[in-house]
Amino acid sequence: MISAVDYIRILPELVLSVFGILVMIVDPLIPEQSPKRPLGMIALVGVLAGLAATAYQVGFYGDAFFHSVQVNTFSVFFHIVILLIALVVLLTSCEYLEVQKIRAGEYYGLILFGTVGMMLMTSAVELVLIFIALEISSISTYILAGMRRRVAESSESSLKYFLLGSFATAFFLYGVAMVYGATGSTNIYTIAHALRTQQSTLAYLAVGLMFVGLGFKVAAAPFHVWTPDVYEGSPAPVVALMSTGPKAAAFAVLLRVLFGTGAIGWFWIVWLAAILSMTLGNIGALVQQNVKRLLAYSSIAHAGYLLVAFAAGREVGISGAIFYTATYAAMNVGAFAVVSHLSGEGEKYVTIDDYAGLGRRSPPLAGILTIFLLSLIGIPATGGFFAKFYVFSAAFQSGLTGLVIIGVINSAIAAYYYLRIIVHMYMRDERTEAPVARIPATLGIGLAISLIATIYLGVLPGRLLEYALTSARDLVK
Amino acid sequence: MVPLSYYLILSAVLFACGVAGFLIKRNIITTFLSIELMLNGVNLSFVAFAAQLKSLDGHIFVFFVMVVAAAEAAVGLAIIISVFRTRETLNVDRVNVLKL
């Protein structure tokens, strides 16, 4: 029987869907020439309502809709992370859309629908529901990637994202079919129960195929080739969303598939993907001139660090991965918010040379970007440091010394290209005429949220880490 | 009664054809069709397993997959049209503004 509690357990998704539909209804009512800013405000209210709904869920842990949705500390954690990402992205978009002269109401609607998909991915425990949620989030982001319709790069990146994304989803789905054949069910817990009694070849194959599908979504090597192209061509705030939101959701699904089901035999695949992602990501980033492209390679590398935590396994590894996802989201979404503000009309100013002398032209923006970049390197007192520290110490405790050494060497390589941006900002003369617009209030709030999150996690990580440990226990229970 | 393995092999062959088509074909529409072929290969496995396990779940999943594939096709074709407008070609090798 479906009761009212069931609906409370999907309340954040419901709230966001309602607001998404509201945006679509109000869109045509706004006169032709007036700005679409009110729609952004509706979407913002929607995300805040979603956060409130998530907070309300805390008292209602449990399963819903015939054990297809599960609300616990794990799903609530990812809900909050994804909603905060959406909040910052919306705050960034308000200004961006006006500067780029994109007058599209559906932009805000799609961000909300995409967020619904991502949130559902983290709370679903039924593989078919996970597949549908994955598609909701992917299809929304495919369209968002092509939002600068008249720009060839944007539609090209949309096409590449679409083709490779659907290709990957097909692999994921084939994995679901295999696991259905092996265990007769697609529910994570029933699968876990069935796999405890017997492991079959089909189950190994299933986990491998699902890893391929999710590997594409999280941009882990060797499934990362689409990332730089898509990130370069897509609108900057959309990149902020898709480099963090769907990634966080896909990592949550990966945690459920690998640890929730108790599947075995994936260790070496993850181990190899971790090493490849870290190395290829960091080496690729060294030669980039375009900042968006550089951050794309950096996001591949960060997926690699996260997979180190997966390889470490056990509760420490899982909680390290959860903590890393949150930290990475905070710093990366902030960095892309700065990039999207600086990009200017038509995204003309996105190369490292355009950042030359930013320290003099706009000290606050340069300072904020520096903090995010330092956090991405993993300098102490920023969230990035503790995230890396927990991941590597988890790997060390699991005896993966080789992986830790490769990871640390990679962090050192990564420092070079992040510092290169900082050096350009503070030590080069301004060569370009790239103007720096004033920071509007919306963007200011967005930057403040990600900045506070990044520094808070770097100074007082204890509470979140404890929460991550609780979530990890809930996941493997 | 046709044994389960026949269906599974056929579905694997369909899926492999889709993968090969995706990697080899140069026309965007054909590439897109290859993805649909992969999805249909998966559908066949679902149905075959459902018949073997005598459960209805697998049959229902196929409907979900078809709905999602239809949604994907709608968005995909729209994206292809927008690419054609800016580039006037449907050859993947010539859609290459973004490069390493």
* Kind plus residue range of the DSSP H or E element containing A222: none
Closest partner residue to A163 (CB to CB) among B31, B61, B65 is B31
**CA quadruple B79, B85, B89, B95: dihedral sign:** negative
Q: What is the pLDDT of residues A450-477, one digit of tens each?
A: 999 999 999 998 899 999 999 888 888 7
Q: B81 contacts in A (CB within 8 Å)?
A: none
Tell me which amino acid residue A113 is. F
Q: Determine the residue of chain A that is closest to B35 in CA distance.
A: A167
Does A174 contact B71 at a Cβ distance shorter than 8 Å?
no
Look at residue A154 and tell me whether its pLDDT is greater than 80: yes
Q: Find chain A residues with C-beta within 8 A of B72's C-beta.
A: 135, 139, 166
List A residues 225-284 in contact with B (Cβ-Cβ < 8 A). Answer: 228-229, 232-233
DSSP H helical ranges for A256-362: 267-286, 291-312, 314-342, 358-361
Interface test with A, best of B82, B95, B96 (most A CBs within 10 A): B82
**A404-425 mean pLDDT:** 92
Cβ contact, residue pair A156, B46, below 8 Å: no
Rounded distance, CA A116 to CA A133, Å? Answer: 8
Confidence of residue A432 (pLDDT cuts 50, 70, 90): low
B chain contacts of residue A132, beta-carbon cutoff 8 Å: 64, 68
User: Cα A159 from chain centroid?
Assistant: 20
For residue A158, what are the CA distances in angstroms to A207, A213, A273? 28, 18, 25
The arithmetic mean of pLDDT across residues A9-25, rounded, is: 93
Collapsed DSSP state (helix, strand, coil) of residue A62:
strand
* Listed residue (A158, A90, A445, A230) closest to B99, CA to CA: A230
Spell out the residues 6+ positions from residue B59 whose beta carbon is closer than 8 angstroms to its own: B46, B47, B50
Per-residue pLDDT of chain B in tens (100 residues, 90 and over written 9)? 788 889 999 999 999 999 999 999 888 999 999 999 999 999 999 999 999 888 888 899 999 999 999 999 999 999 999 888 888 777 877 777 776 5
What does DSSP say about strands A62-64 and A69-71: parallel, antiparallel, or unpaired? Answer: antiparallel
Q: Tokens in use for A132? A: 């549908």
pLDDT of residue A401 exceeding 60: yes
pLDDT at A296 over 90: yes
Contact B71 A135 (CB under 8 A): yes
CB contact under 8 A, A178 and B53: no
CB contact under 8 A, A180 and B46: yes
Q: How far is A160 from chain B (nearest CA, A)?
A: 9
Question: pTM for the full model?
Answer: 0.94
Mean of the pLDDT values across residues A416-421? 92
Instruction: With CB atoms and an 8 Å threshold, state whether B55 touches A135.
Output: no
Q: How many CB pairs under 8 A join A and B?
A: 114
Lowest mean pLDDT among A28-37, A252-261, A268-277: A28-37
- Is the Cβ of B87 closer than 8 Å to some Cβ of chain A? yes
- Asked if residue B79 lies in contact with residue B95, where contact means CB atoms within 8 angstroms, the answer is no
Contact A344, A435 (CB under 8 A): yes
What is the per-residue pLDDT across A235-249, written as a single tens digit (0 to 9) for each?
999 999 999 999 999
DSSP state of A101: T
Residues of B in contact with A157 (CB under 8 A): 98
Look at residue A53 and give its three-state secondary structure: helix
Of residues A128, A139, A159, nearest to B64 (C-beta) = A128
Q: Where are the domains of chain A?
A: 4-476
Return the C-alpha torsion angle A170, A175, A181, A186, nearest 10. -100
Which residue of chain B comes nearest to A287, CA vs CA?
B100
Residue A355 tokens read as 């950042």
Is the pLDDT score of A260 beyond 90? Answer: no
Residue A153 at interface with chain B, using a CB cutoff of 8 Å: yes
Tokens of A432: 């370009």
Give the model's pLDDT for residue A169.
93
Mean pLDDT on A350-359:
85
- Shortest Cα distance from B1 to chain A (angstroms)? 18
**pLDDT averaged over every residue in chain A:** 90
Domain ranges of chain B: 4-93
Q: Which of the four pLDDT bands, split at 50, 70 and 90, describes residue A374?
A: very high
A159:B68 CB<8 A: no
Mean pLDDT of A162-167: 93
Contacts of A357 (CB under 8 A, 6+ apart): A425, A428, A429, A430, A431
d(CA A17, CA A46): 9
Q: Which fold has domain B4-93?
A: Helix Hairpins (1.10.287)
List, for residues A95-148, the tens digit of each pLDDT value.
888 888 887 788 999 999 999 999 999 999 999 999 999 999 999 999 999 888
